[in-house]
Amino acid sequence: MGEEEAISCGFACTVLGKKKKETTAGDTREIARKIADAKADLLVFCGGDGTARNILEAINNDIPVLGVPTGVKLHSSVFAVDTKAAAKIAMGFLWGELPLRETEVMDVDENAFREGRLSSRLFGYLLTPYKPYLIQGAKMASPITESELRNQAAIAMYIIENMKPNVAYIIGPGTTTRTIGDLLEAKKSLLGVDIFYNKKIVASDVNEKQILEKIRGKAAQIIVTPIGGQGFIFGRGNQQISPEVILRVGLGNIVVVATEGKLRSLKSLRVDTGDPNLDAALRSRKLKVVADYKTEYVTRVE
């Protein structure tokens, strides 16, 4: 877990544990505990919410922790917004420039998910170096109110009315995007990416390869909704919509949908596709955000 990378960068390192071809959650907990017992100044890990939960179970608040976002589920606020931000935070903390604060460890609430609701559950807190705008906020679930549901339905209706024939629509996860499927009487996955064609679902819970196969030779659009409390439209929970998919579809064919309430709660839209050049290209453009029926905003990505 990082030995070869550390050596290749010229660092002298102490290796805890043994090298394995495959690792488990138990290995993560064991190594985290050994790092805490060794009184490390900072535990930096790569992964998602599941890994954060494993570390929380192993060390609680014994030493500071910083997450580098590489997992699929990234609802917790222990993570830096991207890899470069993680490096800046780690250096700033080790140089004594950054304070610590308790950050939430979140994960999908499985009981709510089985009932068809996308909600996050709080599992506890970890101590994390804090730097505004470099640490992501915890994911916030959209409030289930009558006005919010009406807003979601109005957005979905507007999107459906503007769907063009013979265009493949790659629709990301979320409750707002799921409403598009509901109004089309299609079973859209809540946490997955689905493809619609001529207002019918043609592929459910697809991966990157399947998306590229389904849109080959077709015009396509991407419809995504930002993660509540964080603002990410790419790189959090929808990694199936990869840089290759985005470039194949075209930056001018991206539509963001978000209720008025969610937009008010966000400071900005964010991206972390894993491709720095693509992230820069997205940040240089203005994206259309559909916030209600026939209500559109144009906003920049930060």
How far is the C-alpha of 31 from the C-alpha of 11, rounded, in Å?
19
Q: What is the mean pLDDT of residues 271-283?
A: 92
pLDDT at 262 over 90: no
Share of the chain above pLDDT 90, in %: 54
Residue 196 has pLDDT above 90, yes or no: yes
pLDDT attached to residue 258: 93
pLDDT digits (tens, 9 = 90+) for 146-159: 888 899 999 999 99
pLDDT: is 119 or 76 the higher one? 76
Instruction: Give 143's pLDDT tier (boundaries 50, 70, 90).
Output: low
- Given a cut of 60, whether residue 69 has pLDDT beyond it is yes
CA–CA dist 237, 220 (Å, integer): 20
Distance CA 29, CA 59 (A): 8
- For residue 57 the two structure tokens come to 């179970």
User: What is the pLDDT at residue 140?
Assistant: 56
How confident is the model over 101-115, as pLDDT tens digits?
888 888 865 555 545
Q: What is the mean pLDDT of residues 35-58?
A: 93
Whole-number average pLDDT of the chain? 88
pLDDT at 242 over 90: yes
Q: What is the mean pLDDT of residues 139-167?
A: 85
Instruction: Count Cβ atoms below 10 Å from residue 41 Cβ, excluding itself.
Output: 9
Confidence check: pLDDT of 66 > 60: yes
Q: How far is CA 82 from the centre of its chain?
A: 11
Tokens of 240: 């199936």
- Do 170 and 150 form a contact (C-beta atoms < 8 A)? no
> Apex CA 202: angle with CA 150 and CA 139, to 5°?
45
CATH placement of domain 3-129 = 3.40.50
Spatial contact of 130 and 101, defined as CB atoms under 8 Å apart: yes
Q: What percent of the chain has pLDDT over 70?
A: 92
* Distances, alpha carbon 92 to alpha carbons 77, 83, 206, 227, 237, in Å: 18, 14, 39, 27, 28
Other Cβ atoms less than 10 A from the Cβ of 186: the count is 17
- pTM of this prediction? 0.69
CA proximity to 69, closest of 54, 81, 57: 81
Confidence of residue 227 (pLDDT cuts 50, 70, 90): confident
Give the closest residue to 122 by CA, choosing from 100, 136, 134, 139. Answer: 139
SS3 category, 203 = strand
The answer to whether 172 and 238 are in contact (CB under 8 A) is: yes
Helix (H) or strand (E) holding 150: helix 146-161
Give the per-residue pLDDT at 148. 85
